Amino acid sequence: MTVITNIEDLRVLAQRRVPRMFYDYADSGSWTEGTYRANSEDFQRIKLRQRVAVNMEGRSTATTMVGVPVAMPVALAPVGSTGMQHADGEILAARAAEKFGVPFTLSTMSICSIEDVAANTTKPFWFQLYVMRDRAFSQRLIERAKAAKCGALVLTLDLQILGQRHKDLKNGLSVPPKPTLGSLANLATKPRWILGMAGTKRRQFGNIVGHVQGVSDMSSLSQWTADQFDPTLNWGDVEWIKKHWGGKLILKGIQDVEDAKLAVASGADALIVSNHGGRQLDGAQSSIGALPAIVDAVGSQIEVHMDGGIRSGQDVLKARALGARGCYIGRAFIYGLGAMGEAGVTTALQVIHKELDLTMAFCGRTRIEQVGKDILLPGTFPTA
């Protein structure tokens, strides 16, 4: 049996077990993938200050994100088609997150529906909203999230139009996979995945199929989704969404200080510094690179979170040191899910927590609330 010691081990295992089009969907960026790579590489340039002869007993990584107690400053990010990485993937990931004590965020473009996840968990999860041209559908999504008692609405602002993702185009990405010669040949090498999918009825976008008139099969679903992302989304829409939602609102996709100020003015509870995992604007700044200026500008007025490039607990600690109240992991948990299902997501969380806890101790801190820029080596981290 493979001994898992880090997120890379889970990635390698997921690559072997998940069909190529879905593995590539998760493990790729847009265009040249420069921003996708920078998200991780820029973390590696930040160096830590080791401290010694410090009492390291009684450590705690517990904190809060938008007032919600969390075992560590980490949430599972919304990832589309999670249920194609592993059968019933969203349900399994939500269960693992609930047991570990961190939030799970369900994507609008999930395979398991809002109701599926609500029926299989006991604590509130978060729901991520894409605004569609069909505003009545978007409003119904909000009402469904309220009915499921979701704890926060995460509104994604950086996918009004879709970035060009070369691997998805070359693989002919579709949900479920189209039965082409290439896809069938690849599926034949993934018996675990096939067996899992044979045992579930959840193989399409559960939040859409059955909830939109005229969308009942793969062909009609593909056409509807291709037409629906709304390029006219603006800050007035954010106000409309906040009014209809009425609960905690988190704005995802902020990379610029001016947009961060607008996020504050909108009355949102938190913003996420994010470039969509390098899957939208290639050539954009890394999330960790953009974080300090945004924290400096608005960190006293709104809770600042971040995502992009986090592959270890050390990355979480560095982001926290630079002012992020919380971090979101996407690929890290997706690798775990594809590798080993719910147990793999749990393993990913355990790995990140252990790395976070030990690194915090080596830096001379026993509580996550004590972590600041002084744990970082001057000159190695981005500044405002």
Give me the residue spans of the domains in the chain.
7-375
Distance of CA 188 to the CA centre of its chain: 29
- Six token digits for residue 56: 């390291």
Average pLDDT in the chain: 96
348 CB-near residues (< 8 Å, 6+ apart): 7, 10, 329, 332, 333, 335, 336
The pLDDT of residue 176 is 86
DSSP 154: E
Q: What pLDDT does residue 213 have? A: 80
Annotated catalytic residue 244: no
Kindly tell me if the per-residue pLDDT of 166 is higher than 90. yes
Indicate whether 381 pLDDT > 60.
Answer: yes
pLDDT score at 135: 92
**CATH architecture for residues 7-375:** Alpha-Beta Barrel (3.20)
Catalytic residue among 86, 166, 244, 276: 276
Structure tokens at 88: 């019933």
Q: Above 80 in pLDDT, residue 221?
A: no
Q: What is the pLDDT of residue 227?
A: 82
Q: What are the tokens at 372?
A: 């600041």
Model confidence band, residue 219 (pLDDT cutoffs 50, 70, 90): low
**Range 200-221 average pLDDT:** 83
Alpha helices in the chain (DSSP H): 7-17, 20-26, 34-44, 89-100, 114-119, 135-147, 166-171, 181-187, 191-198, 218-228, 235-245, 257-265, 287-298, 313-321, 331-362
pLDDT of residue 218: 58
pTM confidence score: 0.96
Please check the confidence at residue 331 and state whether its pLDDT lies above 70: yes
Supply the pLDDT for residue 323.
98
